[in-house]
Amino acid sequence: MSSFRPRPGARPAARHEPSSSSRPTRPARAPELPPLPADSLARAMWVAAEAIAHVRDGYALNDGLAGLWAAHPDLPPSTRGAAQDLIYGTLRDYGRGDAMLARLLRQPLTEPTIDALLRVALHRLEVRPDTAHTVVDQAVEVSARVARGGLKGLVNAVLRNAMRQRDTLASALARNPETHFRHPLWWIERLKRNMPQGWEAALEAANQHPPMTLRINPRRGDPAETLAQLVAAGHHGSAPGPLAWRLDQPVPIASIPGFAEGRLSVQDWGAQQAAPLLDVQPGMRVLDACAAPGGKTAHLLELSDCHLTAIDPDPRRLQRIVSNLGRLGLEADVRGGDARESRFWWDGTPFDRILADVPCSASGVARRHPDIKWLRRADDIGNFATIQREILDALWPLLAPGGKMLYVTCSMFPEENSLQVARFASRHGDCKRVAIDSSPDAALEKTLLPSPEHDGFFFALLEKLA
């Protein structure tokens, strides 16, 4: 359905925290903003259109946003917030803009930002029909200031036609799997084939706003006191785990009491399940082999007095690890390095535990990074599987006999998950797959599909026979 095709070689982030090391980059769009009122919907729509155009050029959203915010630091928080809502909403609506414009235009637009502006406006018309006339007025205002002759009238005509055909368009979109589920068709078919019981719920959850979950740092204060401060400040929620607090409503980080002092971190509940599964004991040598931005690194250190080495190939992302550890009052040996090239960073002493949170399709966290749905291609899954195999084979010799490796992805595809682990175990006679937890009916792996409670993750625990 989608007519979007990224430039050859351009790919979004491999992980749930996008890394520029995974694909070519370019400077983000940072044009002069037209003279629109600073706090107007028109200005938010224009900023959103620039970010959407950046993604449709084949580049990751995080790079585009970073460039826009840096180039326009005077944007009021309200405008920035409104623009971000429009950007994420439009990108989550994969395929719908293409389908609507195909019906509303005689021929495709050749001006990227006006095309993106229409997609932003069409998204807003769908989710806020009560503001339809304001949306049309503000979109026309933007096009009048930035577009060449004739496009102002075109924008006005397309959006008013969309209002008139609202029911007809909605009916057509509901009949098409790509526009109904708001995912690429190959993605839908893959999930349907591999998860016949849960694929629809997983896709639906992947189109929603993600939950905001906090992780309490027991090394920076009594957890009960930290939680009491949160509730007293109005940050109500529920506790999915003993040191986790899922907020009823997301809030700005700056408003969270104790965050700046390192008493709390933001980490999805699914991601928080990794560190306890590795069963790290005091004094152990631990490797976090794909560590940036450091959430799981920090969690391991919060749970145990271990000797932890964290590596990542991206220098910019390494700084995030260092920054996060500093805020939390934790220490680790942070090194630049590729997990597949241990000769450049390993001292030769085996590790007792290895966390292999490998690069993947990030299909389980697309609601946090919706550009993934636009930029990912079906053949990328095999490419990621190859990288994962190389990482696992390179890390296994670094693990001490009797040691354990936790394999983690934020993918929903079996080629990156269960099939990858099964093939690894068949190649290594000294590998034993062990129960993922201590419950009597514990399985050898754990799959979390995206839900209102957490993102999508896969876990498998491997023990090296003595």
Q: Which residue has the tokens 């609507």?
A: 100
- Name the active-site residue from 290, 306, 360, 410: 410
Q: What is the DSSP letter of 360?
A: -
The CA-based angle 22-460-240, given to 5 degrees, is 95
The whole-angstrom separation of Cα 26 and Cα 64 is 9
Length of the chain: 466
Beta carbons of 126 and 88 less than 8 angstroms apart: no
Enumerate helices (H) and strands (E) in the chain, giving the number of each: 19, 12
Nearest to 83 by CA among 126, 39, 114: 39
Nearest to 41 by CA among 112, 126, 133: 133
Nearest to 219 by CA among 275, 254, 258: 258
**Residues sharing a CB contact under 8 Å with residue 97, sequence separation 6 or more, in sequence order:** 90, 118, 119, 122, 123
Residue 207 in tokens: 């189109």
C-alpha dist (Å) from residue 99 to 36, 53, 112: 30, 17, 17
Beta carbons of 410 and 455 less than 8 angstroms apart: yes
Strand partners, 265: 215
Does the active-site annotation cover 290? no
Nearest to 297 by CA among 282, 287, 305: 287
**Residues sharing a CB contact under 8 Å with residue 450, sequence separation 6 or more, in sequence order:** 202, 205, 206, 364, 365, 367, 412, 456
Which ranges of 273-368 does DSSP label H, i.e. alpha helix? 274-277, 295-303, 315-328
Catalytic residues: 410
